[in-house]
Chains A and B, each alone.
Chain A
Amino acid sequence: MAGWLQAILLLALVVALTPLLGGYMARALQGERVVLTPVVGPLERLLLRILRVGRRGEQGWEAPGQDWKAYARSVLLFSLISWVVLYLILRTQGVHPWNPTDLGSAPWDVTFNTTSSFVANTNWQYYAGETTMSYFSQMAGLAVQNFLSAAVGVAVVVAVIRGIAHRRSSTSESDAEGIGLGNFWVDLVRVVVYVLLPIAFLAALVLISQGVLQTLGGPVTVQTLLGGEQTLARGPVASQEAIKMLGTNGGGFFNVNSAHPFENPTGVSNLVGMLLVLGIPAALTATYGRMVGNRRQGWALFGVMITMFAALVVVITLAEQHGSAAQHAAGLRAAAIDGSAGGNMEGKELRFGAFGSALFDTVTTVTSTGAVNSAFESLTPLGSLVPMIGLGTGEVIFGGVGSGLYGMLVFVILAVFVGGLMVGRTPELLGKKIEAREIRLAMLGALYMPFAVLVTTALAVGTEHGKTSLYNGGPQGFSESFYAYLSQGNNNGSAFAGYTGFVQPNGTNDGAFGITFADLLGGGSMLFVRFFPMVLMLAIAGSLARKRGVGGGVVTPGTLRTDSPTFALLLTAVIVIVGALTFFPAFLLGPVAQALTDHLF
């Protein structure tokens, strides 16, 4: 019972937080005065001055607007430089400060994968944090990208919303001069200083109070009660953990991620982590509602997201409570008894139990976080299907910061199109006609991800190269491969951790080598699925921004309203059908095959 109450508490907090944070972001990102302006305003202006973007005017900061192409170019250039800098940091690890265990660099192929992973907000990790990365690499390399990749996501979605919301006032704006979606550099700076940095700082302190580490002192070796030795790996964990969750990044400081007691020590830290993850993606729906001038639009999207989320939580929780086939075969009971919560506890921590693990794992896989507080490889088959569904729907059930909402808007456009065909009217979104160009772009937006995931999975399971990475055999081996490319192909980063692309024979980077095929295939996929849809969505926004509202945006009885429960239902159906048609065969071969049998492989 307490387990279900925990889920309800989380949902209630998310519902309460959404309008607050959503409204705050809408105001802060549009340059209006907000509660934190006196604190971080000077930092914002300092950064913009260093960047030489715009200048201070009478109406606040004035920066030149960018049309969609200019905005996209800035996004790509910034991400390119981020990539190069991170790669260089990781490859020169040996000469950094704050490297208490004298770790050298990981090989080029793993570093390619890791760099792409963090710049693309994925945080897929072939490496193990505590035996691969110095404190400096974690702090100044990986955690910086945790902030920046998240900020890029939010910036892009805000630009997209501006395009949708834009109302052409008169004929004075000519098409030729292009219509501004805002300025990327200003958006980037504002997301960082108004949203990510203050929340991450406060959250880090809360996490430290629970027992998350925050120290630059190296590992300590203690003599245990029985006289043996135990070396405690340490580091600046809390500062990274806070942004890892808040930015829906998910890359753990330690190898076992949020299952590690120093990274996620208590039930409270577990809840705080989940709130941080859901906070921004949920609130962005409210930001959307405000910016397009109709808050019901935001709540409709929120409703679709939270309903699908709740359904997934129920499925995985029941599955994990039931226990695994191997456990039953070994004679270990799964039912809860007095003083033991029961369930499938292989790969799970006692302080979270089956309930707290199932909830956390759902939260981080419907969003593009990918942090795990239990071993996904050891989930029951039906339990493991839930993360796969979260990924297979393209990370739009809350989804990544920014990317979740613009991914959802692709489905909104498709649903408007389908609905328009049903009622025989020209499809429109917020009073703007959806025409051939937008539908073509939106179809690409629905297809790029399945394309990337299925092609990479096919290459991995169909060629000899993929087999080196496998740990388990049988259907579980297929699930491992499929999950690896499903996760990387959705910028999620969670893993069936048996699948590997990095081998450390000595437990350190000395003599370690990467599995080049897996590293490059996954790395390339992550970059593609991150930046292709960004450009696509900006193009749609640019095209919508140019459109005049139909009849001034007046809703007539014949208009297909996009803020009604009916539309929410239609939208849910579109998401489920597209996701199901794409991935059903793969689901059947892996988790479903195992769920249907007690046979052990």
Chain B
Amino acid sequence: MRKDLVTAIVAVAALTVLLGVAYPLLTTGVGQVLFSDQANGSQVERDGRVVGSSLIGQDFRRPAADPATGRPQVDEEGEPVLEPDPRYFQPRPSQTGYAADASAFSNLGPNGTDTRAAIAANVEAYLALEGRYDGSLGADDVPVDAATQSGSGIDPQISERNARIQARRIAAVRHLPLERVRQLVSDHTAGRQLGVLGEPGVNVLELNLALDQTDRSTSRR
């Protein structure tokens, strides 16, 4: 019994050193050498400055201005009211405000009235934003990813259909040919890996970066 106890103590100590220190440090070392980019968070740069991670969705909303006064709107708690910036493709709705340091599920149940309210509000907001540029757009056309909150709150992707609908708005607001924007969308649509894994999707941050790039080169010309 006593010998067993000593063995147990020694075992936990030795294995903690091996598995809790040596193993993660070795993995970090090898990972940093082989896949430095991915190991550090797949960071995306523009003009030499890091603007985010290609794996992490970010916020493309801006402070809303009061139409009467032109001042930034605030809600009852004094927080600024945000509205989607129409110049950019919008990611999926987020329950965490796109926080990448505190992820959380929405935990909305399948038969909840609060779930219905949240989804209905998302559908309405989507139609309000996109409907101006496509009069025929109805609730039935809203892609499911555009009106539901993702698992992580920082889903980097939207569906291709969602992006194609938003392309009308982008083209109109930025005065770009719709075909050009649609081309960007299909260029940034990632298919299924190995043809069967996961679902196809469009990376919003990368698409918006390419969009800005296109815009700059067009206006320069």
Contacts and interface: CB of A to CB of B under 8 A. Distances in A.
Nearest to A240: B24
B210 to A, nearest CB: 12
A268 interface: yes
B112 A472 contact: yes
A333 B159 CA distance: 14
Contacts of B123: 330-332
Nearest to A343: B144
B155 A350 contact: yes
A143 B193 CA distance: 29
A492 B159 CA distance: 32
Interface string A216-257: 110110111110101111101011100000000000001110
Nearest to B113: A600
A343 B1 CA distance: 57
Chain B contact surface mostly: mixed
Contact of A139 (B9, B20, B112, B144): B20
Contact of A348 (B39, B151, B195): B151
Contacts of B112: 326, 472, 474, 476, 600-601
A205 interface: yes
A74 B10 CA distance: 13
A279 interface: no
B81 to A, nearest CB: 15
A159 interface: no
A197 B108 CA distance: 38
B31 interface: yes
A334 interface: yes
A160 B195 CA distance: 42
A261 B154 contact: yes
Interface in A374-430: 374-375, 377-381, 383-384
A540 interface: no
Contact of A346 (B7, B11, B59, B106): B106
B68 interface: no
Contacts, number: 405
Contact of A332 (B38, B56, B147): B147
A498 B38 CA distance: 32
Nearest to B42: A211
Interface residues of A, number: 131
A130 B155 contact: no
A226 B59 contact: yes
B38 A212 contact: yes
A262 B54 CA distance: 10
Contact of A347 (B12, B142, B149): B149
Contacts of A472: 107, 109, 112
Interface stretch (B44-52, B69-77, B169-177): B44-52
Given A192-B19, A338-B161, A476-B112, A213 B102 contact: no
A213 B40 contact: yes
B9 to A, nearest CB: 6
Contacts of B128: none
A349 B157 CA distance: 8
Contacts of A373: 151
A100 B45 CA distance: 24
B217 interface: no
A240 B20 CA distance: 10
Interface in A347-364: 347-353, 355-357
Contacts of B53: 222, 232, 261-262
A261 B155 contact: yes
Given A225-B58, A265-B55, A215 B113 contact: no
Nearest to A50: B14
A472 B60 CA distance: 30
B147 A352 contact: no
A209 interface: yes
Nearest to B197: A267
Interface string B12-37: 11111011110110111011101100
Given A261-B155, A340-B159, 14 more contacts: A9-B196, A128-B104, A144-B16, A148-B15, A208-B39, A222-B53, A224-B59, A232-B56, A234-B41, A261-B57, A331-B120, A331-B139, A345-B148, A346-B106
17 contacts: A51-B14, A85-B13, A197-B23, A209-B34, A209-B38, A215-B28, A222-B51, A232-B56, A256-B104, A256-B151, A259-B150, A260-B103, A324-B111, A346-B149, A351-B198, A379-B110, A380-B110
